[in-house]
Amino acid sequence: MIFTTDKKRIHMFIHIIAWMIMFVFPFFFIRKENIDGSIIGYLRFCIVPCAFLIIFYINYLYLIEEYLFGKKIRTFIVYNIILIVSIGIIMHFLHEAMLFPHKSHMVMYQKKLLMDILFTLRDMLTLFFTVAISVAIKGSYYWYNAEAQRQELERQRSEAELKNLKSQLNPHFLFNTLNNIYALIAISQEKSQQAVLELSKMLRYVLYDDNQKNVPLQKEVDFINNYISLMKLRLPENVTVKEDIDISRNPQIELAPLLFISLIENAFKHGVGSQDESFVNIRLKVEDNNLIICEIENSYMPKDKEDKSGSGIGLENLRRRLELLYPNRHSFTVGVENDKYMAKLTLYAS
């Protein structure tokens, strides 16, 4: 079993305190006028806890780990029976020797034979109970350590998956943005230069702030505004874009970066027509200080069956990131309603 140094010290301290209480407890009942007799009685008392201690730690330090956890249960039971019977007999001899120190062994073992057997069996039963306690404590430590390792592996797996999702998101975003700039070059050199400037601002955010676990909402909004400005450069006049962003209630609230860009990117990519009237409506607000609501509406323009562009990895990537980052603290829905494609994301940032 693997424990940190601090945990080992705590466990050792608990063991020492428990055994000290067991061995020191009888001293509270020793009377000053009968110290000599009480000391002898105390030594007789120590026989039982010493037997407990031996049984406990032989199991705790060796037998449980080697045989019980090693799936050798029969061997574990046999060894404990031999151990308990041996120590039980030794306990009986010591009790009798200290109780009748001046009598011959023949006299000792001829008197109260039945009672001696019963007391010995009773002592052995308590020793079996000690084994059970040792198994329970060792098992609880083993389970705690195994659970801690499982949680650490799960945390590492989640972090690795998040890094992989983010590594997918950045090239996906960059690819789509470069496509927009490429299309813009043929329309206007001036606008394409402006688009490159806007892209440089966004890349600065993606390369530096995206490496942080959380960023202020204000930075995320600045990134969104830069992206919308870039998209507007190439939109025809038949497309209407409306923005309603209000984070004044708590602009510095922190959240994971690049959570909303997939929704906005999807709206511009699949909700804008080159000739038909179309629209993109973006609403982002903060309520109750830590509740963030993002709603996106855009024209519903079903793709032809031959069109394989789809929504790419963006939305599925977002779903998985939300599951990992905000379990039980978010709601994400997409669907078509009244010829509108609607996406809504709500999350509690803290």
pLDDT in tens, 284-337: 999 888 899 999 999 987 765 555 454 456 788 888 889 888 999 999 999 888
Tell me what the mean pLDDT of segment 338-350 comes to: 89
Burial of 298 (0-12, 13-18, 19+ CB in 10 A): buried
Q: What span, in angstroms and rounded, lies between the C-alpha atoms of 105 and 185? A: 111
pLDDT in tens, 203-245: 777 766 656 788 899 989 998 988 888 888 778 788 899 999 9
- Position 282 scores a pLDDT of 95
- Position 184 scores a pLDDT of 72
* Residues β-bridged to residue 292: 286, 347
- Position 1 scores a pLDDT of 44
pLDDT in tens, 113-129: 666 666 667 777 888 88
Tell me what the mean pLDDT of segment 28-49 comes to: 62
- Position 116 scores a pLDDT of 61
- If one compares 177 and 231, the residue with the highest pLDDT of the two is 231
pLDDT of residue 103 exceeding 90: no
Average confidence score pLDDT of the chain: 77
Query: HSE (CB half, 13 Å, CA atoms) of 259?
Result: 34
- Position 318 scores a pLDDT of 87
Domains of the chain, start order: 5-151 (no CATH), 235-348 (3.30.565.10)
C-alpha pair distances (Å), 93 with each of 10, 42, 49, 105, 127: 37, 17, 16, 10, 16
Question: Which pLDDT band holds residue 11 (cuts at 50, 70, 90)?
Answer: low
* Residues β-bridged to residue 347: 292, 330
Q: Is the pTM of this model over 0.85?
A: no
Tell me what the mean pLDDT of segment 24-38 comes to: 54
Tell me what the mean pLDDT of segment 4-24 comes to: 69
Q: Three-class SS of residue 308?
A: coil
Which residues, other chains included, contact 183 with Cβ-Cβ below 8 Å and sequence gap of 6+?
Answer: 234
- Position 161 scores a pLDDT of 64
